[in-house]
Structure 1
Amino acid sequence: MKFENTLNFAQQLDQEDPLREYRNQFIFPKVNGKEVIYFTGNSLGLQPKNAASYVDEIMKDWAELAVEGHFYADKPWWDYHERLAAPLAKIVGAKPSEVTVMNTLTVNLHLLMVSFYRPEGKRFKIICEEKAFPSDQYMIKSQVRFHGYDPAEAIVELKKRDGEHHFRQEDILQTIAEVGEECALILIGGVNYYSGQVFDMKTITQAGHDIGAFVGWDLAHAAGNIALELHDWDVDFAAWCSYKYMNSGPGNASGCFINERFHGVKDIPRFEGWWGTNKDDRFLMKPEFEPMPDADAWQLSNAPILALAPYLASLQFFDEVGMPALIEKRNQIVAYLEFVLQEIDKEVESTFEVITPASQEERGTQLSVFLHGEGRQLFDYLMKQGVITDWREPNVIRLAPAPFYCSYEDMYTFGQILKQGILQKNK
């Protein structure tokens, strides 16, 4: 398609967008009396309008049934989390039995590393990407120390080449091969939070298995954003937060994938709690743990129902639309945003450099953009004009036009505001 940087063209794309009505299902903050242009769905998704009714249902059941809501609510609380497994399985490419929802992201990654980071002898090293999201860095270092190893020796970071913004696949595979039998675990973010680069998870997982390592993925920026086939890729485990592209609310519950190969294995290292024990016998209060036959065996405590309610509300939309349709719009709206940036770049003295890979196979919703010659002043201007974006030092903005609620007109209007901010500064 040949794009045009005009309001009429953007509005025409919106008219042709099969997902356009879903924009009306979300609540937009307002700045200066106008709905914001929201580019931070990669940090916190907007609130679905149906979320409040899902939460209100729980509050009503709590008021009217109290403890009996566990079994007699319309959606009984004791198995409430199970309702999320099937729609989530479609999003991450798994069997419903391989998916559970519990805790929060870093907590779950720690719990999963109990099962999948088992250093022994010379096999003790973890491969991760350099400058991973800080929480992952802290988690991995603390796990290594917990097992008595020096992070400087046990952690191997995948490196970008000097002067480059992306990890090269051949360098990743070479590092995996070089670490070889010393590698106990590969744990990488499926989408790099800073650049938006999507890793080839299928190939990397296979390479990790070839050297005898477990392979897990932090899918915080991937779930609900890119196509995932965790089961078919034979991934060992994965976890993701729900509050970014899946719009479940701030700090909300995390999803987990545990490959069915590990289900029903009673002697696997695992921290255990009563919600992971056999459902039929749970309330018999037996002294011995009998694991659920699926990913729920990794559950610890009864689920936070008030937190799961808005997650379930958002998953209703994903189930209606499906990832292929979301990805189709994602590809087009991101391409249009990139085109608008290029057109504005021709009209101002600044230089924009998109550091997210150009190929659709290596990027999702996010574009990370170097604003050469610009500083925090431009970001502050955008925010005051109702453009909610994300600033990363030294001069990068991350733009994530979530396909459920961002419009093509948003992309055009953003371009005009961006141009005005630069020209105003240069007067």
Structure 2
Amino acid sequence: MLFLFQTEKPFKLSNYKPGLEYAKKQDALDELSQYRTQFHIPKDKHGNELIYLCGNSLGLQPKSTKDYINQELEDWANLGVEGHTDAKNPWLPYHEFLAEATAKLVGAKPIEVVTMNSLTANLHFMMASFYKPTKERYKILIESDAFPSDKYAVESQLRHHGYDDKEGLILWKPREGEELLNYEDLEAILKTHGNEIALIMIGGVNYYTGQFFDFKRITDLGHSYGCKVGFDCAHGAGNVNLDLHNSGADFAVWCTYKYMNSGPGSLSGCFVHERHAYDKDLNRFTGWWSHNKDTRFNMRHEFDVLPGAEGWQLSNPPILSMAAIKASLDMFNEVGIDKIIKKSKKLTGYFEFLLKDLGEDTIRIITPENPDERGCQLSIQVLKADKSLHDKLTEAGVISDWREPDVIRCAPVPLYNSFEDVYLMVEKMKEILKSST
């Protein structure tokens, strides 16, 4: 039996109802519906709003973003270099303005998080510190269908340290005929190879299937074999309850342009567990922004690393990108991740209910049925069809994305998607499938 909430009255799939009026009623009852109006919704050439279900690739722009960036442009224009100290939001400590809201969003302490660099760059910086290969223990474990950049990054780390990037890589694979990963298989891998593995690095929510992994279970297992454990949370931050501090993970990284709505190519986030905060001997790449703030601008001091995640910074923060992140974080802070996840489970459950009505001979959802093992993304496997179905959906005004060989990824984001969005998307899919038949 599938339940949508654990902390409230259980909501079963059978409680949902078909029809547009039901969808509209749910929108009228939705306490977060007002936030949709605070985003720019893309429109077609006729001025009609598109059904945007692609927040798993690029989140929509909050209307407040322009004001946040304009504030920094005005301070730059009016103050020049003095903006570092005299701007409305002084630039020197600007990254600190993001720490508390970021920590709340990912389930961490402010000392454990920092916004900097791009995602894969941060992953490399973390591996510089937490991938410590030895002759006996040098292998890296990832999921077999990890996001390509993760796979490329860990392979390059193996090569950088002089190891074969195929022999040194251990893949956690799904079982024959299945898409989802099984924890018993991970346990078996560790039982056999645990003393050879230096690092476990898993995508927290798999980009293809949408499977949300149990961070604490993986971390406890990895640590019991002496492995360091990290997560790429690109598809998790702003989408699921990451609870990074309590997971015990050594590190995590994420981008901010998907569910965190900070704009294309915006900065990445980084988590380093508090137990590493004051370890000045931990190997890392350094720069002047990881140096003691009190003596940073006295250019003659020897390096003195900052405690916490700030100690992994290299350079001064890019303010315009951080302003866009601040605009989004302020909205997340106002709403709270618990309310966002509550709506997400209900909205995604409704989406699942409607899709299943199409019949398993037409489509199959490969994302876990358990709401606690997924975020808002549903990966729809198209049976007896190809990318042309996705193309026709796009022509019909539905923005989703296609992943080879046969999956359409759709993410009804709770801050700006509605129950009506989900209803209309499935109706359009029905029409396309009917006409194709």
**TM-score (ref. length: structure 1):** 0.97
Aligned to 2:253: 239
CA distance in 2 between partners of 1:35 and 1:140 (Å): 41
The more displaced of 18-27 and 285-294 is 285-294
Q: Give the alignment of 1:80-99 within 5 angstroms.
A: 80-99=94-113
Q: Tell me if structure 2 keeps the 8 A contact 1:225–1:245.
A: yes
Match of 1:389 among 400, 420, 423: 400
Counterpart of 1:6, as a letter, is G
Aligned to 1:166: 180
Q: Which has the higher helix share?
A: 1
| Percent pairwise identity | 50
Match of 1:134 among 133, 137, 148: 148
1:287, distance to aligned residue in structure 2 (A):
4.2
| 2:350 partner SS | helix
1:33, distance to aligned residue in structure 2 (A):
2.1
Match of 2:428 among 410, 417, 420: 417
Counterpart of 1:79, as a letter, is P
CA distance in 2 between partners of 1:345 and 1:418 (Å): 12
Aligned to 2:3: none
Aligned to 2:214: 200
| 1:281 partner SS | coil
CA distance in 2 between partners of 1:298 and 1:375 (Å): 45
Aligned to 1:218: 232
1:409, distance to aligned residue in structure 2 (A):
0.5
Q: Is 2:364 the partner of 1:353?
A: yes
Counterpart of 2:373, as a letter, is E
CA distance in 1 between partners of 2:406 and 2:144 (Å): 20
CA distance in 1 between partners of 2:383 and 2:211 (Å): 20
1:121, distance to aligned residue in structure 2 (A):
2.2
CA distance in 2 between partners of 1:206 and 1:286 (Å): 43
Q: Is 2:312 the partner of 1:298?
A: yes
Q: Give the alignment of 1:22-37 within 5 angstroms.
A: 22-31=35-44, 32-37=46-51
Counterpart of 2:343, as a letter, is K
1:109, distance to aligned residue in structure 2 (A):
0.2
| 1:115 partner SS | helix
| 1:175 partner SS | helix
| 1:300 partner SS | coil
Q: Give the alignment of 1:395-410 within 5 angstroms.
A: 395-410=406-421
Q: Tell me if structure 1 keeps the 8 A contact 2:51–2:399.
A: yes
Q: Is 2:77 the partner of 1:66?
A: no
| 1:256 partner SS | strand
Counterpart of 2:123, as a letter, is L
| 2:166 partner SS | helix
Cα shift readout 1:227-271 (whole Å, capped 9, x = no counterpart) = 111111211000000000000000100000011111222221100
Counterpart of 1:266, as a letter, is K
Q: Tell me if structure 2 keeps the 8 A contact 1:5–1:343.
A: no
Aligned to 1:143: 157
Structure 2 unaligned residues grouped into runs of 5+:
1-10
Match of 2:34 among 6, 11, 21: 21
**TM-score (ref. length: structure 2):** 0.95
| 1:126 partner SS | strand
Aligned to 2:381: 370
Aligned to 1:102: 116
The number of equivalent residue pairs is 423
Aligned to 2:129: 115
CA distance in 2 between partners of 1:417 and 1:292 (Å): 54
CA distance in 1 between partners of 2:236 and 2:322 (Å): 20
